[in-house]
Amino acid sequence: MRRRFPSLAAALVAGSPALLAAALLAAAPAPAAPPAPSSSLWTNPPARRTAVAIPSVAPLVDRLEPAVLVIFTEAPFTPEALPPSHPPIGPELPFDGEGPELRGQGAGFIVTATGYALTNHHVVENATSIAVRVGDSPDEVPATVVGSDEKTDIALIKLQSPRTDWPVIPLGDSELLKVGDFVVAIGSPFGLEQSVSIGIISGRSRRDIAPSGRAGLYDFLQTDAGINPGNSGGPLLNLYGEAIGINSAVNAAANGIGFAIPINMVKRLLPQLKDKGRFERSWIGVQITGLDLDVAKGLGLDRARGALVREVVPEGPAGKGGLLPGDVIVGFEGKAISDSYELPLLAGEAGVGAKVKLDVVREGKPAVVTILLEAHPDNAAKTVAVSAKEPEHDGSLGVSVVSLDADDRERLKLRTDVAGARVTKVRPGGPSFKAGLAPDDVIVRVGATDIRSAPDFAAAAAAARGGALMKLLVRRGAATMFVPLLVPARDANKPAATP
């Protein structure tokens, strides 16, 4: 006797392919006789027509729109305040750049009943006055910046009002998001206040993004929900009505590529922004770069992963802990480092005084380095001088060098016993450029060979095989850094190009 299931779901629960097939056969209707020929068969619709029900986000918008802000700012007009004419990614453009004040408009949203609200740092940056319009109210309420973090483009503002029952948007959990989840954006694109758009999460962990050319510590969510100038600072919402991101940037050259700051990053910064007005970021004390497959294999890794240590800051946390130039950091407190953009995010948020373990690959072998994180200092600008001396050229590597002399040592504040080949020019796009060499770097070693002069380096470069990895030790200011330089394959019938 054949076992019967009341539904396909019951067969699926039973977990048997054979039973599922049986259920499908049992559920299948008997073949119907072909219809009689009729002239109306191809023109008349079926007797039963059922429209597909598509849900509306109107209830969500009605509930949350009263907590969305339109933000108006005024800032002193300076040429530097204007964004680039054609930014590759431009989150915000001012409406009016004439006169003594630069006027801008953005968005934000209230997160506490007492009037604290979130927006982008670039929306309120340098503002001398801030006014907000709440929901569809025509009235403007003054606001002040409580705290701001330029690196992540996050700002916390406070509405200057005695009211303590402001409508709020709750903060969700951006770690729960999956690519394909529906999201809703609310803002004021191009002055069209309280505009709503819907889309999906198109990607996660977009870190190699520089809005308007501004570098930072980003971990963007990507979405195709309509985000345009004026949406900056507004909420990106899930279908539960929770903010899971702050809309921050758009790709100006694309259609439907927007970026939002994940709300979990925001929540980690909020306590310090409220209490201190800024986020005190910790650091390791290294300069890092990414790896491609060839460099990774040359350093003993199975694939391109982790962050290559190019420079260890003297007396910094990494230097004190024993990290070395040439180490590849592949783990931070047990979390695998997939790329070099991830490490600064983890190190910056770990906290000043935190003791962390780094998993590294050193000369192809695994090791563990423990360091004590310190407060991140301000970066100092570095002036690069042009040499009047005749340089030595090595065209295949795309770099020009001269022998280091007494004038160079004095200008670069190097010890008198330092010798090497000073970089004077790097060809854009060439192997040395890709490796990260820069003018005024001093090459002091190639592999195990000390470099005392420009001819020494030229000889080492000439001896390097095409496709090999040259392991350079370079002095940059007071720091010593590791630079892996991949030698291009050489064509014996083709002369090397010059920079």
Residue-averaged pLDDT of the chain: 76
Let me know if residue 3 belongs to a domain.
no
Say how many residues make up the chain: 499
| Whether residues 339 and 261 fall in one domain | no
Same domain, 68 and 188: yes
Look at residues 276, 295, 329 and tell me which one is the last residue of a structural domain: 276
Concerning whether 393 is annotated as a catalytic residue, the answer is: no
Tell me, yes or no, if 122 is annotated catalytic: yes
Q: Which residue has the higher pLDDT, 344 or 443?
A: 443
Alpha-carbon distance 308 to 328, whole Å? 4
Three-state DSSP at 248 gives: strand
Select from 244, 261, 276 the last residue of a domain.
Answer: 276
The active-site residue out of 153, 219, 359, 441 is 153
Question: Would you say residue 29 lies in a domain?
Answer: no
How many Cβ atoms from other residues are within 10 Å of residue 97's Cβ? 15
Q: Are residues 220 and 296 in the same domain?
A: no
178 & 270 share domain: yes
Is 24 a member of any domain? no
Q: Which of 227, 259, 276 is the last residue of a domain?
A: 276
pLDDT tens string 351-393: 888 898 998 888 888 889 888 888 877 433 333 333 345 455 5
Q: 294 and 271 in one domain?
A: no
Total domains in the fold of the chain: 3
Taking alpha carbons only, the member of 188, 91, 112, 190 closest to residue 157 is: 112
Is there a contact between 197 and 226 (Cβ–Cβ < 8 Å)? yes
Judged by average pLDDT, the poorest of 229-233, 276-280, 307-311 is 229-233
pLDDT for the residue numbered 392: 59
The answer on 411 and 331 residing in a single domain is no
387 in a structural domain: no
C-beta separation of 145 from 127 below 8 A: yes
Kindly report the number of other CB atoms within 10 A of residue 141's CB atom: 17
pLDDT surpasses 90 at 407: no
Q: What is the largest CA-CA distance in the chain?
A: 103
Q: Is 86 a residue of the active site?
A: no
Tell me which of 203-207, 334-338, 364-368 is least confident. 203-207
Residue 458 in domain: yes
pLDDT at 82 over 60: no
**Alpha carbon distance 400, 391 (integer Å):** 6
Whether 477 maps to a domain, the answer reads yes
* Report for 209-223, 261-275, 484-498: range of highest mean pLDDT: 261-275
CATH number at residue 237: 2.40.10.120
Q: Give the pairing type, strands 129-134 and 140-149.
A: antiparallel
Task: Give the residue numbers spanning the domain of 95.
Answer: 61-276
The residue ranking higher by pLDDT, 190 or 462, is: 462
Same domain, 144 and 227: yes
- Asked whether residue 339 falls in the same domain as residue 428, the answer is no
Phi, psi of 280 (to 5 degrees): -85, 105
Determine, yes or no, domain membership for 178. Answer: yes
Q: Are residues 322 and 303 in the same domain?
A: yes
The mean pLDDT value for 295-300 works out to 84
Looking at 174, 195, 197, 232, which residue is catalytic? Answer: 232
Residue 30 lies in a domain: no
Whole-number percent of the chain with pLDDT over 70: 73
Residues of the chain with pLDDT > 90: what percent? Answer: 10
Same domain, 325 and 266: no
339/422 same-domain check: no
pLDDT at 214: 63
For residue 174 the two structure tokens come to 């951006």
> Which of 71-85, 108-122, 294-308 has the weakest average pLDDT?
71-85
Q: Annotated catalytic residue: which of 122, 195, 197, 441? A: 122
The confidence score (pLDDT) of residue 81 equals 46
Lowest mean pLDDT among 5-14, 51-60, 253-262, 465-474: 5-14
Q: Grade residue 442 by pLDDT with cuts at 50, 70 and 90.
A: very high
What the block records as the tokens of 319 is 């230097």
For residues 354 and 411, membership in a common domain is answered with: no
> CATH number for the domain including 435?
2.30.42.10
